[in-house]
Chain A
Amino acid sequence: MLRVDSLEVHYGSTHAVRGVSFELAEAGSLALLGANGAGKSSVLSALSRLVPSTGQVHLAGEDITRLPAERVTRAGLIHVPEGRRVFPSLSVHENLLMGLIARGSRSAEYAIDDVYDLFPPLRPLRRRSGYALSGGEAQMVAVGRGLLGAPNVMMVDEPSLGLSPLMTETVAEALITVSARTSLVVVEQNLQVATRICSDAIVLRAGEVVLRGSSADVLGSEDVVSSYLSA
């Protein structure tokens, strides 16, 4: 579904992503792990063309490497950004409606009602403004908004960051449900959460892939622990 070859990102003199390659099967799920500054979020930003990069990106066989951000999204590579980025002046429902723009002619797994079913706490908050949401509520909106765009691949950046354990659990459960039929890339600091959601994982250190394998294997590796500690 998604193939990334030799992705490179430079920020000025900083070489943030160094030759990252990976492949994601249909309905596959991949966790990007690594310490702060390892380049995980940069990979997502490069894939959704928010930052310039070199390398090749193919989505469902289509070369999307040079498309502008809005067309990458419309092609079905949907980025749920770090910090949720819920629109503060739009209501919950309006935020979800924004998700529909990316859909185009693709058939979607999730309609708006399905999102409310996936995240029941959002139902009573339909009319609440984005700025008045808690972190967990905002994360549900952000994920729901992404799902409404009928993603071929949905990339979720730090879904558990700043959430209570209970809320983290709710979001993780929802993403596990989603992953059954939607390809996912999840960037996550929390190893337990990431490996529960995703079947595969790669570990980045200083912008390079240092380990890849099934989540279980990666979680069992000494390298993972050391890469987190070496930050």
Chain B
Amino acid sequence: MDKFIALTASGIAYGAVLTLVALGFLVLYNATGIVNFANGDLVTLGAYVGIWTTVDLGLPTIPSFLVTLALMAVVGLVLEALAYEPLRNQPALVAVMGTLAAAIILRGVIGIWQGSTPRALPSPVGDAVVHIGGAPIAGHRILIVVVSGIAVCLVGLLFTRTSFGRQLRALADDPTTTRLMGVRVRAAARISFVASAVLAGLGGLLIAPIGAVDLTFGFNLMITAFAAAILGGFGSLRGVVIASFVIGLLQALVGGYFLVGYSSVLGAVLLLAVLAVRPSGLFSMERSRL
């Protein structure tokens, strides 16, 4: 039983971080129609900037998180200006290639800044361990779930309660008509790049203290989050949240009981299976209630 609890807890924490990264995909895709493959390297960058502000500059946790997220917002703007705006009128595939190029450059820049030795980001809650039903759960994993939960709620409110959120959903529905409404598409793209960079950075900040950070840190997370975004129908907030937790729990539980060592392929397997049966994703009808 305590094994089940421990695995479930780890699945939930992983699902929570996946949600953040997957939402970054979703926001940007809705606003621009492209998939941003620099997302993983933005996760890595967020973790390194967090290490820089916390460890190197010695800022306390909350200011360091805020500075990190603010810097990530700036990175989002730069990314939009250099990698997306010049390619905006090209076929989507070209713009997607632009994000791939941006990913490679970003990784190179991080490498030259931080070198290849992995680095650690201490958890704000230290080594605290909470026992639930006899299973030890790292306090940091609980922190991950709480902070991600707050972030997801904020994104939810942004989507449903703000003019920007409406514009984003309108862009996802019908970009041409959205322009006819007077929506500044460039501004929407900018805000989306900022939002997805901030979400990725938050994901990096949250998951870094679990292990260590190196240059490939965000890549795997991105691939799994991409699977979650597709599984969730790529248009639906609710679908993406559910898909992220499904993948997180699947990896933890199926991986924990049957496939120890190869659980990271489960997200991809599920993705292929779903695409074969329902190419539009599991939750595409949820889009209307985004």
Q: Which of A79-95 contact B (CB under 8 A)?
A: 79, 81, 85, 87-90, 94
Contact indicator A70/B288 (Cβ below 8 Å) = no
**CB contacts between A and B, total, < 8 Å:** 74
Cβ contacts under 8 Å, A130 to chain B = 173
**C-alpha gap A88/B172 in the complex (Å):** 10
Known: A94-B166, A101-B167, A101-B183. A89 touches B290 (CB 8 A): yes
Q: Mark B144-177, 1 if CB is under 8 A from A, else 0.
A: 0000000000000000000100110110111011
The residue of chain A having its C-beta at the shortest distance from the C-beta of B236 within the complex is: A89
The residue of chain B having its C-beta at the shortest distance from the C-beta of A48 within the complex is: B180
**Interface membership of A73, Cβ < 8 A:** yes
Contact indicator B166/A88 (Cβ below 8 Å) = no
Report the minimum CB–CB distance from B38 to chain A (whole Å).
26
Report the minimum CB–CB distance from B136 to chain A (whole Å).
43
**C-alpha gap A100/B152 in the complex (Å):** 27
Q: Mark B269-290, 1 if CB is under 8 A from A, else 0.
A: 0000000000000000001111
**C-alpha gap A90/B169 in the complex (Å):** 7
Report the minimum CB–CB distance from A129 to chain B (whole Å).
5
Q: Mark B121-152, 1 if CB is under 8 A from A, else 0.
A: 00000000000000000000000000000000
**Interface membership of B179, Cβ < 8 A:** yes
Contact indicator B182/A88 (Cβ below 8 Å) = no
Known: A94-B166, A98-B166, A131-B288. A87 touches B174 (CB 8 A): yes
Cβ contacts under 8 Å, B178 to chain A = 87, 98
**C-alpha gap A220/B169 in the complex (Å):** 47
Contact indicator B288/A149 (Cβ below 8 Å) = no
Contact indicator B169/A102 (Cβ below 8 Å) = no
Known: A85-B177, A87-B177, A90-B166. A70 touches B183 (CB 8 A): yes
Report the minimum CB–CB distance from A81 to chain B (whole Å).
6
Cβ contacts under 8 Å, B176 to chain A = 50, 85
Cβ contacts under 8 Å, A71 to chain B = 182
Cβ contacts under 8 Å, A98 to chain B = 166-167, 170, 178, 181, 183
Contact indicator A90/B181 (Cβ below 8 Å) = no
**Interface membership of A33, Cβ < 8 A:** no
- Which of A48, A68, A88, A129 has the most chain B CB within a 10 Å cutoff? A88
Contact indicator B288/A88 (Cβ below 8 Å) = yes
Contact for A90 among B170, B179, B235, CB less than 8 A: B170
**C-alpha gap A104/B172 in the complex (Å):** 23
Report the minimum CB–CB distance from A61 to chain B (whole Å).
20
Contact for A101 among B182, B288, B289, CB less than 8 A: B182
**Interface membership of A196, Cβ < 8 A:** no
Contact indicator A73/B181 (Cβ below 8 Å) = yes
Contact indicator B166/A149 (Cβ below 8 Å) = no
**C-alpha gap A73/B178 in the complex (Å):** 11
**Interface membership of B184, Cβ < 8 A:** yes
- Which of A69, A73, A97 has the most chain B CB within a 10 Å cutoff? A69
Contact indicator A88/B173 (Cβ below 8 Å) = yes
Report the minimum CB–CB distance from B132 to chain A (whole Å).
38
**Interface membership of A74, Cβ < 8 A:** yes
**Interface membership of B185, Cβ < 8 A:** yes
Cβ contacts under 8 Å, A89 to chain B = 169, 172-173, 235, 287-290
Q: Which of B232-290 contact A (CB under 8 A)?
A: 235, 287-290
Contact indicator A79/B287 (Cβ below 8 Å) = no
Report the minimum CB–CB distance from A137 to chain B (whole Å).
16
Report the minimum CB–CB distance from B101 to chain A (whole Å).
27
Cβ contacts under 8 Å, B163 to chain A = 97, 101
Cβ contacts under 8 Å, B169 to chain A = 87, 89-90
Given contacts A89-B288, A98-B166, 14 further A-B contacts (CB under 8 A): A48-B180, A70-B182, A73-B180, A74-B182, A81-B180, A87-B170, A88-B173, A90-B169, A90-B170, A97-B163, A97-B166, A129-B289, A131-B288, A149-B182
Q: Chain A interface (Cβ within 8 Å of chain B)?
A: 48, 50, 68-71, 73-74, 78-79, 81, 85, 87-90, 94, 97-99, 101-102, 104, 129-131, 145, 149
Q: Chain B interface (Cβ within 8 Å of chain A)?
A: 163, 166-167, 169-170, 172-174, 176-185, 235, 287-290
- For this complex, 29 residue pairs linking A to B, each with C-beta atoms less than 8 Å apart, are A50-B176, A68-B179, A69-B179, A70-B180, A70-B182, A70-B183, A70-B184, A73-B179, A73-B181, A78-B180, A81-B177, A85-B174, A85-B177, A87-B170, A87-B177, A88-B288, A89-B287, A89-B289, A90-B173, A97-B163, A98-B166, A98-B178, A98-B181, A101-B163, A101-B182, A102-B181, A129-B288, A131-B288, A149-B182
